A and B are shown apart, each in its own frame.
Chain A
Amino acid sequence: MTGKRILAILAHRLTILVYVVFALFPLYWLLKVSVTPNKLLYSEGIRMWPSRASLEHFEFVLRHSDFPIFFKNSLIVSGSTAVIVTLFASTAGYALSRFQFRGKYALVALMLLTQMFPLVMLVAPIFKILSPLGLTNSLTGLVIVYSAFNVPFATFLMQSFFDGIPKDLEEAAMIDGATQFVAFRQIILPLTLPGIAATLGFVFTAAWSELLFSLMLISGNAAATFPVGLLSFVSKFSVDFGQMMAAGVMALVPACLFFLLIQRYLVQGLTAGAVKG
C-alpha cells in the first residue's frame, strides 16, 4: 500500500469519525448532564465528565415527578399509532401497488395534498373538531390525529415496498391454488416484513417525539405525553436541567429498544433469490 493510499484511508476514516462525534455529541451531553449532581452543574465549569457522577436525577424523576405517567402515555399513544397506521398503510399500499381502480390517481393526489400544509395551520381547526367530541385532553384524540397525519406517508412507504415484490410471486400462488387474499397473507406479507418494520419504526418515532399537537390538545399532566412532560421541568424561576436530561435519557430507551428489535428486518433483503439469478 502506498503512503498516498494510507493517507486517503486515514482522511476518510477521520471524516466519518468527525461526523459521528458531531452527531452523537448532543446525546453524550444529555447523558453527561443527567449524571451531574446539581451542586456541580454550575460550579465546575465546562468539563467532559463531572468529578462525581450520580443517579440522583433519575431517582428524583422516577419517584417524585409525573414522568412515569408521561412515559406510559407516550408509550400508549406511540404504540397504538404505529400499529393502527401500519395496518392501514399496508392494506392501502397493497391496493395502490396492485389494483387498478377508478379514482386511484385522485386518491393519491388527495393523500399527497394532506402532506402539504404546515401543521401549525391545522392546530386550531383540529382543536375545533375534537373539542365537541370530547377528544381533547385524551390519548384517543392524540392517537386519531397522529394516525391521520401519518397514514398518507406510511401508505406511500408501504406501496414502494409492495412495488418491490415481483407480481409473479402472487400469480404463482394464485395458480397454486390461493385466492388473492391468501396469496397476500401467506406470500406477500412475510416478504414485506422489512417494510412493515420500517413503517412501524418510522411512525413510532414520529409519534414519540411529537410536541405541537400534544401541547395544544392536552392540558394538565394526566394525559400529557413525555415531550410535553419535559416542559414541566421548566418553572418560572429555574430550569431543572439535571432532571430534564435524566427524563430525556429514559425517553430514549423505548425508541432505541424498538429499533434494536426491528433492525434485523430493516437490513434483511428477504426477496433476494425470488426471481432471476
Chain B
Amino acid sequence: MASIDIANIHKSYGIMPVLNDIDLNIADGEFVVLVGPSGCGKSTLLRMIAGLEHVTEGEIRIDGRRVNELAPKDRDIAMVFQSYALYPHMSVAGNMRYSLKIRRIAKEKIAELVTAAAAKLGLGPLMERRPKALSGGQRQRVAMGRAIVRQPKAFLFDEPLSNLDARLREQMRAEIKKLHKDLGATSIYVTHDQIEAMTLADRIVAMHGGVIQQVGSPLELYDKPANLFVAGFIGSPGMNFFEGRYDVSGGAASFALDGGIILPLNGTTNLGQGGAGTLGIRPEHVVLGAQGPDALMATVELVEPTGFGIIVHLKLGTVAFKAFTLDRRFLGMQGAIAVSLPEASLHFFDAAGQKV
C-alpha cells in the first residue's frame, strides 16, 4: 500500500498540451476516481502514473519516491485495462501467474497466491480456460485477479467496466467496492461514467480540458459544484441552467432570466449589480404544482417515466429544463403547470462559469 503524489504535472504531445498543472495527493488506501468526458486527459494521467506515458513536466511520487524515470515494471503497481488485455495464449491461471513468474517467485508460493486470488473472485472453476472461452464479466474478473494476485502498492483502473452491459456493470461495480474494502489498497479509477464515480469514490477528481476542475467527496461535488462544468457533469439527469442577470434595485434582489421572466430572491449573491451569470438547479429540487407568489408558469413538453421516478421536460419561456419527481400524479401531465425554484437549492455561477 502506498500514497501517490502528483506535483505540477504537465503533459503535451508536441505542441499539443494535454494536461495542465495537475496537483493531486492520494492518501494510502484511498479510492480516488478521475472522472470527465472523453479527451479530458484522465486516462493520460493514469498512464503516466503507470509509467506508460512520459511525463513532460512535474513529478510523480509513489510512497514518497520519485518514479518519473522508472519503468512500469519497477513501480510495483497493477492496472486493469478497459480491454482487459488478457494474454490470449495463456489460460486464466497462466494469466494470473505471469506477473509472479516473471518476478521469479517460488512455485509453491505462486500456486498459493493464485489460488487465494481466484477464490476471492470466484474464478476457481475457470482456471484452465483460455480468455476467448470466457464471457465479458468473467474476463473482467480475470483482469482483476491478475491485478490483485501480486499485492501491488496501488491499483489503477482504466474504465474497466465500459465494455460490460448495464446489469453486469452494476454488479462488478459493487464487487470492486467490496474488493477495495477487503484489500484497502490505494486505487485510482478512471471513468467517464459519473454514477461509477459517485458510487465508488472516496474522493472524486473532476477533469475537463486537461485541467482539474474540482476535487472532493462525491456529495461535495454534487451539492457544492465549483463551476458550471462540474455542476453539469455530476448528476443524472443533469443540473438545469438558466442564463440571466442579477439585479438589486430598491433593496430587492432578483434574477432576470433571459426571456424576461424575473425570479425574486430573498438573499443576495456575489454576482454584483447587473452581473450576467447562470443559475443552476437540480431537477429533483424543482417543485412541480407549486403554489404561492413564487410560482412560475411552465409548459410540459414531455413526460418520461423511469419506473423509479418521473422526468418531466418543461419549458420556461424559451428555456428548456427538467424536473424529477417520485410523485406518480404527474405521469399524465400536459399543458401548463406551476413550478417553483426554491432559493435554497439554487446555484449561481458568474460569467466565467465559476460558482459565486
Contacts and interface: CB of A to CB of B under 8 A. Distances in A.
Interface stretch (B71-79, B279-287, B322-330): B71-79
A190 B73 CA distance: 21
Nearest to B130: A273
Interface stretch (B82-90, B186-194, B342-350): B82-90
Interface string A148-185: 00000000000000000010110111111111001000
B89 A176 contact: no
Contacts of A176: 73, 78, 98-99, 102, 146
Interface in B139-170: 139, 146, 163
Interface string B47-74: 0001110000000000000000001110
A187 interface: yes
Nearest to A193: B89
Contact of A272 (B51, B73, B99, B132): B132
Contacts of B135: 277
Contacts of A191: 88-89
Contacts of A272: 88, 132
A190 B77 CA distance: 25
B136 interface: yes
A175 B88 contact: no
A179 B71 CA distance: 8
A254 to B, nearest CB: 29
Nearest to A174: B72
Contact of B102 (A182, A190, A271): A182
Interface residues of B, number: 31
A53 interface: no
A274 B86 contact: yes
A210 to B, nearest CB: 35
Interface in A172-219: 172-179, 182, 187, 190-191
A177 B105 CA distance: 12
B102 A178 contact: yes
Contacts of B81: 168, 171-172
A73 to B, nearest CB: 37
B133 A273 contact: yes
B88 A273 contact: yes
Nearest to A277: B136
A175 B72 contact: yes
B132 A273 contact: yes
B83 A177 contact: no
Highest count of chain B CB atoms <10 Å: which of A166, A171, A177, A272? A177
B103 A177 contact: yes
A39 interface: no
B36 interface: no
Given A273-B130, A273-B134, A277-B136, A172 B79 contact: yes
B85 A179 contact: no
B88 A271 contact: yes
Contacts of A270: 88-89
A274 B88 contact: yes
A168 B85 contact: yes
Given A172-B79, A178-B73, A273 B102 contact: no
Contacts of A175: 50-52, 72-73, 77-79
Contact of B89 (A172, A177, A178, A190): A190
Contacts of A174: 51-52, 71-73
B131 interface: yes
A172 B102 CA distance: 13
A275 interface: yes
A176 B79 CA distance: 9
A162 B139 CA distance: 23
A276 interface: yes
A172 B103 contact: no
Given A173-B87, A176-B146, 7 more contacts: A169-B87, A172-B146, A174-B52, A177-B99, A177-B103, A191-B88, A275-B83
Q: Give 8 nearest A-B pairs by CB, closest first.
A: A273-B132, A275-B83, A277-B136, A176-B99, A168-B85, A172-B85, A274-B88, A177-B102
20 contacts: A166-B85, A168-B81, A171-B50, A171-B85, A172-B81, A172-B87, A174-B72, A175-B50, A175-B73, A176-B99, A178-B73, A182-B102, A187-B87, A270-B89, A272-B132, A273-B88, A273-B132, A273-B133, A274-B83, A277-B135
